[in-house]
Each structure stands twice: as C-alpha cells, then as structure tokens.
Amino acid sequence: MPELFEIKQRIEGLKSIHNITYAMQIVTISRLRRITNQLLKSKSSVVEIEKIVEYLASEDSKFAKKISGNSKKATDEKPVIVMFFSNRGFCGSFNQDVVAHTHQYLEKQSLDFQTVHKVCVGKKASLFVKPSVQNVTFFTPEKDLISASELNEVYDYLLPFIAKGAPIHFVYFNFKSIVSQSLTVEPYALSFDADQLATKPLQIKKYVDPSTDVAQEKIINYYYHQKLLNVIKSSACSEFSQRFLLMKSAVDNVKELTDELLLEHNKERQRMITQEITEIISTFKTLKK
C-alpha cells in the first residue's frame, strides 16, 4: 500500500489536472455557444436563398434548366472532395473519422483517393492527409476559427470547378446538438427538380427581377458562398462539441480517481492512527508490568 505522502502527492497532481481540464471545458462551451448562434443564422440564410433560387427558376425556364442541368448532368470532370478537419487537438477521433469516411465513400463510388481532387480545410489536415498525396490542396486558418478572407480563398478556389460542372462533395461533421454530430457527405451543387417547380407553390416576395441575368448570377454565387460558410460553421461546432465532451469525460474521470485516492488516503490515515494507538497501549502495558 502506498505511503500517505505519496497519496497526497497524487491527489495534488489530480487536482491540477482537474483545474486545467475544467478551465478548457468552460472555454470550449463558451465558444461553442457563440459559434452555434452563428451556425443557426447561416442555416436560415441558406434556406432563404434556396427559396429565392427556386422562385427565380420557376419564373425563368432557361435559368431553371441551367441550374438543374449543372446539378444533375454527368460530367467528365474529376470529382472534388472537400474535407473539413479540426483546427486544434483534444477532439477525439474527429480527424481520423473524416479520412476514414472519405475513403469509404470513394470506395462505394469506385473512385480512387489518389486521383480525385482533394481540398483539405483545417490546421490538422496535413497530419492525416500527407502533402505528398496527389491532387491535394490545403487551406490552413491562422486562428482556431476561419476568417472571412480565408473563407473567400476556399470559395475562390472552388469557383472554377463549379463553373466546369465538376461534382463537388463536402465531407464533414454535421452538427445537430452538443451530443450528436453525424459524418456527412453532402453535394455542393443545388439539387431540385426543375420540372416540378411549376406545380410547387412558392410563398416568397419578389426580391429581384427574375429576368435579370446579373441578379441570377449573384444569387447563385451568394448561395454557394453561404453554403460553404454553413458547412465550415457546422464542422467547427462539431469540433468544439467533441472537445467539450472529451474534456467533460476527463473532468469526470479525474474526479472519480480523486475520490478513490481520498478514500485510500483516509483508510491509510486511519490505519496509521490505529497502529499508533496500538503501539501506545502496548508500550503502556509493558511499562505497567
């Protein structure tokens, strides 16, 4: 059985670990709340933009064919896989799962990981996708959250692929709640049936003139920009959630270990007291004789 001093040292060490992990937990949940509010606004923006695009398409058959054609037609262009990684550690198997899910998806589509275009977003990307791999581009944010200018860099890089009609898919953790995030492979392109637009009632104000090509082009570009932002925010929320859950688990484990050591400490202390009392009584009996 370890000595009392050794147990005290272990308890003090666990208290230090508890303070650090608890502080990280508080910081993480605070940042998660802030980024979650941003995600909700981004999601609502994407929904509204999709309604506007459907309205424009329902009013302009040429525009409808153009949009539905880009989203459905077969193309000789190589697929583009955009993977979203974490910007910091302590988030479990977040990054390994993204890579594994990408490989699984490509295998189902009979595609080779080496030949498809790969775009990796996140600081930890280079640790899980080797820079020596063919057809890979990295976007590494300077801070934990991607800035507006960095978002525009990713968007500008993807624009030529969008223009060529190349199939683009996002692989990321879709944030649902703090305890639920699902790995998702999601197409970047708009997806709706142009033939059904005429029969589908669309309750929306006439924000723009559907006959204006410039307005149509701008709203489509805005849609792609907002959807990219939405995916990045969702991935960031999932990263913070998994880090929070990991820190919470660490705090709970440290508390459990500390309680066990305190119990052991009290037992050892009681044993030493009992031993000292026994020795005193034994000495007293010896002296009495």
Q: 57 with 91, same domain? A: yes
Q: 273 with 184, same domain? A: no
Residue-averaged pLDDT of the chain: 84
Q: Is the pLDDT of residue 104 over 90?
A: yes
Residue with tokens 């890979």: 136
Q: What is the end-to-end Cα distance of the chain in Å, rounded?
A: 35
Indicate the burial class of 275 (C-beta count within 10 angstroms; 0-12, 13-18, 19 or more).
exposed
Q: 173 with 265, same domain? A: no
Say which CATH number the domain at 87 has.
3.40.1380.10
Do the domain assignments include residue 7? Answer: no
Q: 219 with 271, same domain? A: no
Do the domain assignments include residue 100? Answer: yes
Q: Pick from 246, 264, 279: which residue ends a domain?
A: 246
Supply the range of the domain harboring residue 254: 248-288
Q: Which of 9-23, 174-188, 193-207, 247-261 has the lowest mean pLDDT?
A: 193-207
Q: 174 with 274, same domain? A: no
Do the domain assignments include residue 172? Answer: yes
Q: Is the pLDDT of residue 136 over 80?
A: yes
Do the domain assignments include residue 195? Answer: yes
Do the domain assignments include residue 275? Answer: yes
| pLDDT reported for residue 74 | 47
Within 8 A by CB and 6+ apart from 84, the residues are: 98, 121, 122, 170, 171, 172, 173, 231, 232, 235
Could you give the number of structural domains in the chain? 2
Q: Is the pLDDT of residue 202 over 50?
A: no
Q: 279 with 174, same domain? A: no
Q: 184 with 42, same domain? A: yes
Q: Is the pLDDT of residue 170 over 90?
A: yes
Do the domain assignments include residue 120? Answer: yes
